[in-house]
């Protein structure tokens, strides 16, 4: 029996699911940390123009508000288990990356902590919290998508794996035509799955308000995998195999290496 020339592509969806799960744990930890930091900001008493604390005397002393908040930042955001491995940054650098240069300059200062500072810092921290929530939602959507595509893609790979080409020593136009039709069916299924997956990726980009010129979610998540798009990559590889398919050509190569 003759066989389909080329190697069936590897499937990395399971690896992608592991990456998504790890990322969910990271973002969930950061979400909780920023929520705790936001509570610290909200409980810090602003400095009044007269130099006296605003509010009850048992609140945080306003004269060291920034110092207290820097310590709170270390105890919350910078204390997540993955911080050193993922970032390994100084407090000033991390604050600038998260909040921007203006807030970083404010938070690392030693001046009095006023109402305006509290409002700005509270607003910016809440924005970061919402960003994490949105990303968690996108990761949940990505996880569901990968799980949904796993079996259909695996089914296509199995079909190609078991594909047998007609032996060139056997003249059977009907048999050759049958193999050609089977390959056409595989091609159509690949196109269907690719179109559906790409549509979902575009939808995720819009949900996260990612710029068209920037990376999409898979590009961000799967940099360590051999393929950037673990669902689309094997399907497009199969389409390339199908494009060169000749059911009457002799080949000594199996589908897998």
Please write the tens of the pLDDT for every residue from 127-158: 999 999 999 999 999 999 999 999 999 999 98
Instruction: Please report whether residue 250 resides in a domain.
Output: no
Sequence-ordered list of residues with C-beta below 8 angstroms from that of 252, at least 6 positions apart, any chain: none
Structure-token pair, residue 197: 């997956």
Mean pLDDT of 231-256: 72
d(CA 161, CA 128): 47
Q: Does residue 251 or residue 178 have the better pLDDT? A: 178
Structure-token pair, residue 142: 């990505």
Sequence-ordered list of residues with C-beta below 8 angstroms from that of 30, at least 6 positions apart, any chain: 77, 80, 132
Instruction: Please report whether residue 254 resides in a domain.
Output: no
> Are 148 and 17 contacting, i.e. CB atoms less than 8 angstroms apart?
no
Instruction: Please report whether residue 53 resides in a domain.
Output: yes
User: What band does 172 get if pLDDT is binned at 50, 70 and 90?
Assistant: low
Cβ burial of 246 (10 Å; 0-12, 13-18, 19+) is middle
- pLDDT above 70 for 204: yes
Q: How many domains does the chain contain in total?
A: 1
The range of the structural domain enclosing residue 91 comes to 2-243
Instruction: Please report whether residue 171 resides in a domain.
Output: yes
Mean pLDDT of 241-245: 77
Structure-token pair, residue 83: 């911080």
First to last CA, the chain: 17
Instruction: Please report whether residue 256 resides in a domain.
Output: no
Instruction: Please report whether residue 25 resides in a domain.
Output: yes
Q: Does pTM surpass 0.75?
A: yes
- pLDDT above 70 for 235: yes
Mean pLDDT of 241-247: 73
Number of H helices, E strands in the chain: 9, 2
Structure-token pair, residue 175: 């048999």
Instruction: Please report whether residue 77 resides in a domain.
Output: yes
User: What band does 210 get if pLDDT is binned at 50, 70 and 90?
Assistant: confident
- pLDDT above 70 for 16: yes
Residues in the chain: 257
% residues pLDDT > 90 (the chain): 63
Instruction: Please report whether residue 238 resides in a domain.
Output: yes
Tokens 């744990």 correspond to 25
Helix (H, G, I), strand (E, B) or coil at 53: strand
Q: What would the pLDDT profile of 89-115 be if each residue is shown by its tens digit?
A: 999 999 999 999 999 999 998 888 899
């Amino acid at each position: 029996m003759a066989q389909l020339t080329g190697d069936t592509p590897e499937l990395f969806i399971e690896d992608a699911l592991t990456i998504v799960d790890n990322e969910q744990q990271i973002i969930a930890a950061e979400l909780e940390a920023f929520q705790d930091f936001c509570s610290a900001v909200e409980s810090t008493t602003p400095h009044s123009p007269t130099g006296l604390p605003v509010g009850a005397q048992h609140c945080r002393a306003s004269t060291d508000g920034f110092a207290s908040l820097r310590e709170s930042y270390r105890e919350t955001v910078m204390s997540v288990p993955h911080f050193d491995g993922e970032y390994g940054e100084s407090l000033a650098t991390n604050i600038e990356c998260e909040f921007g240069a203006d807030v970083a300059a404010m938070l690392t200062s030693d001046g009095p902590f006023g109402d305006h500072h509290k409002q700005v810092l509270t607003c910016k921290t809440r924005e970061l919290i919402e960003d994490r929530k949105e990303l968690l939602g996108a990761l949940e959507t990505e996880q569901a998508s990968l799980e949904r595509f796993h079996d259909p893609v695996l089914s296509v790979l199995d079909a190609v794996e078991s594909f047998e080409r007609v032996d060139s020593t056997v003249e059977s136009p009907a048999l050759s035509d049958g193999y050609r039709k089977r390959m056409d069916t595989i091609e159509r299924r690949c196109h269907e799955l690719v179109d559906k997956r790409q549509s979902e990726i575009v939808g995720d980009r819009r949900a996260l308000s990612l710029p068209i010129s920037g990376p999409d979610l898979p590009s961000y998540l799967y940099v360590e995998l051999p393929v950037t798009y673990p669902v689309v990559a094997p399907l497009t590889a199969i389409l390339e195999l199908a494009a060169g398919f000749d059911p009457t050509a002799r080949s000594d190569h199996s589908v897998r290496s």
